[in-house]
Amino acid sequence: MAADETTEFMNWEVDVSSCDGLKQERQLSASQRRYYSFCRRKSFAAFVASKTDGSQEDGITSWCCCSQTFNEHSAIHKHVARTHNAELQQLTQATYERLLRQLEEAPETQQPNKHQTEAADISAWIPDVSHISEEQLKNGPGKVLLYYRYCEVEDPHAICAWQKALCEKLHLTGKVRVATEGINGTVGGTNVAADIYINAMHSHPVFKMDKEDFKTSDGGAECFTDLKVRVYKEIVPMGVDPDVISYQLAGVHLEPEEFHKEVEALLAKGDLCSDTILLDCRNFYESKIGQFTRCLAPNIRKFSYFPDYVDQNLELFRDKKVLMYCTGGIRCERGSAYLRSKDVCKEVYQLKGGIHKYLERFPEGFYRGKLFVFDERYAISSNNDVISGCRYCGCPWDQYELCSTRFCCQLVLSCPSCRQDGHTACCPTCQTKGQAQGEATKHHKEECECTDGRPRIPQDV
């Protein structure tokens, strides 16, 4: 769907969230909901297209509706979303019923066998590695790849099966998320295996990724405990339906050089700069060990809290220029789209390729400290700055370890000296639980001071 269609559909989705059509949709099966969602998007786009003014000059598109002329995409989108809910609902229902009839009338011989199609496609997408030894695929210097691609995926389960088969063949470990909106992954293996994987993603007809779309760092298969490839609703878990807030509404992408200049200008103004916010949309434990100078780093534990953070701090962003960044760029795609949907910011920009690509270009730039990564390494570095301290003694320290208490998944910064003294838990509460071995099983994970003392959604206004 084009960005303009996404905007108008998003607005309509919000406005009709309580109508009978959506109540009916929630009662449908998963496959029926996919059909209905498709019909809803198609109907919205068709309705707007029908309002296009035929007398266009100099290639400029305008729309006529309700005796009004609209020259901006956003204007016609808002008008249609707010004024024509009833007609849109009728169009959606009619389109949905027509689609169901077509499916029922189609002879079984014309309907593809899903499993046969997947098997054939998967076989065609697996590269021939017969000329490469198992030794080259399993042993030797390695690296970790980080990547994502937003695109329309008609059959995410087929892609999931292909990814699993491909990674297993190449002895890659890691995590891959597949959805109808695209793919997001981080995998590790030998340099030979990783390069074959990149070539496979480049040649695939759906993704067609280039080498520069991948962020690389030293590592290998040992950086992950296993391989996890699954189908999800979102390729990055923000907790908002991609059909409601699409990546196509994202902010303006800035190359690392452009972003560097923006940050440089921001720092040059110092306290006099009140119209720009440098926003870190990662989790608190990521920004704690590394961040851009003078950034706003929300104290949130999960990216799924980011929409609520924006909602509860809207005045913070009103009439501001926002410069967003994250690890590899994917969270900014959805995060900037959500922020833009609130229509409060003057401008929204995002760092293309994330901190990864920035550090490739500016290893001693304005990002200081470590870069947190979601694998067994926990962090990688390009400079020697340590911006965080030990949880217990406060001395400079930025190397995370998991809390030693059973069932607790919190990360802890505990220096070697404090660890030697037995301070291996994330907080005194967990330390006590860890000492009482028999009671450990009574506690659910993340029940400790680390979570109880931190507000779920911080108020930064």
Contact 142, 221 (CB under 8 A): yes
Angle at 136 between CA 360 and CA 161, to 5 degrees: 80
In 313-447, where does DSSP find H-type helix? 314-317, 330-341, 354-361, 416-420, 428-435
Q: Known catalytic residue: 326?
A: yes
The pair of three-digit structure tokens given for residue 361, joined into one six-digit string: 């270009």
According to the model, what pLDDT value does residue 114 have?
46
Full-model pTM:
0.71
Domain-by-domain residue ranges, the chain?
23-52+62-103, 139-231, 247-372, 388-432+447-460
d(CA 421, CA 436): 17
**Of the ranges 72-81, 204-213, 252-261, 331-340, which one carries the lowest mean pLDDT score?**
72-81
Residue 446 has pLDDT above 70, yes or no: no
- Among residues 167, 281, 326, 408, the one annotated as catalytic is 326
According to the model, what pLDDT value does residue 9 have?
42
Contact 321, 277 (CB under 8 A): yes
pLDDT interval class at 37 (50, 70, 90): confident
| DSSP bridge pairs for 57 | 60
According to the model, what pLDDT value does residue 33 have?
67
d(CA 78, CA 4): 11
Residue 295 has pLDDT above 60, yes or no: yes
The model's pLDDT over 46-105, given as tens digits with 9 standing for 90+, comes to 888 888 876 655 556 788 899 888 877 667 767 887 788 888 888 888 888 887 777 766
Q: What is the CATH number of domain 247-372?
A: 3.40.250.10
The pair of three-digit structure tokens given for residue 293, joined into one six-digit string: 């100078």
Q: Is the dihedral of CA 356, 362, 367, 369 positive or negative?
A: positive
Mean pLDDT score across all residues of the chain: 85
Q: Per residue in 108-119, is it b (16+ CB within 10 Å) or e — as a string?
A: eeeeeeeeeebe
d(CA 288, CA 298): 10
Domain 139-231, CATH 3.30.70.100 — does that match?
yes
d(CA 181, CA 150): 6
d(CA 377, CA 380): 7
Contact 293, 267 (CB under 8 A): yes
Please name which of 304, 260, 306 lies closest in space to residue 281, comparing C-alpha atoms: 306
The model's pLDDT over 357-390, given as tens digits with 9 standing for 90+, comes to 999 999 999 999 999 999 999 999 988 999 999 9
